[in-house]
A and B are shown apart, each in its own frame.
Chain A
């Protein structure tokens, strides 16, 4: 498949994602804010639904093709300190401007140009790391090994996914039960 065709298909998938995100009103920044205010059940419900479906889907994909299955996501510096640090920076940023990545894209689509400012402000932040910090960090720390949870706890992926999915289903049922 040519890259142009792949991009066209990706764009069409993106339109689908955009429609679903807009209809759902999904934004993890708002969700985290709600959690800190003690009203986090809405975002937890949404997260659990995503976790249940994608966990099963990604696990089963490995049985469809050996090229698919569970893969580590974005481990340019292995795992550890930098993940927590980047999470802290990201978490502080999204709460400050009120939009995670999905929320920012959705709000731009809904006509809120404040989030276009947010999007453009990614540029200096990214440039600072890529051109300023990365050359320094790569001198001392350059691990690209992908690590999955089953590798660490020594339990096969289907068992780990099953535990997560069953736990999530029970949690979701408990929240919906209380609500009704």
Chain B
């Protein structure tokens, strides 16, 4: 049992099962990017973005509980200004990307592609292109 609990694939499988269970029980699936639109006052039809935002607040709470339980919680304040700049620029790009065509980002890999949603396959291609450009221009150059 112990090796199983240490295997990341087991926990990924639990995540996937929970996503399916949530869909079957309350007809909602996990979404990423659009869920943050309530931060700028956009709540979506029938408050669907607000619901997704609350689910994602639960993810922060769940990660906190798990990190505290496994003694992996370390409170870290950003000190390196270079990292803060990257965080801000990266965050703005993510904010633009997820709003321009909702359904991108992690949603693509976790919900969109299993749903056979065409835009998710296109977004996945875009994510690879964008990530590769970013890797070549910034990350790869630093290494």
Point out residues on A near B: beta carbons under 8 Å.
1, 3, 6-7, 9-26, 28-29, 32-33, 36, 42, 45-47, 49-55, 57-58, 61, 64-65, 67-68, 70-80, 82-98, 100-102, 105-115, 117-131, 133-134, 146-152, 157, 160-161, 164
Contact = CB atoms under 8 A, between A and B. Distances in A.
Contacts of A72: 103, 115, 117-119
* Residues of A contacting B: mostly: helix
B88 A54 contact: no
Consensus secondary structure, chain B interface = helix
A94 B64 CA distance: 22
Q: Which among A20, A57, A128 has the greatest number of chain B C-beta atoms within 10 A?
A: A20
A72 B103 CA distance: 9
Given A10-B28, A57-B20, A86-B126, A95 B119 contact: no
B64 to A, nearest CB: 4
Interface of B: 5, 8-9, 11-20, 22-34, 36-37, 39-40, 42, 47, 50-52, 54-67, 70, 72-78, 83-84, 86-135, 138-140
Contacts of B74: 110-112
26 contacts: A9-B26, A12-B58, A17-B59, A21-B62, A24-B15, A33-B139, A42-B8, A50-B15, A53-B13, A57-B114, A68-B23, A68-B24, A72-B119, A84-B122, A86-B123, A91-B130, A96-B89, A96-B139, A97-B86, A108-B60, A109-B62, A113-B76, A117-B78, A121-B92, A126-B36, A160-B116
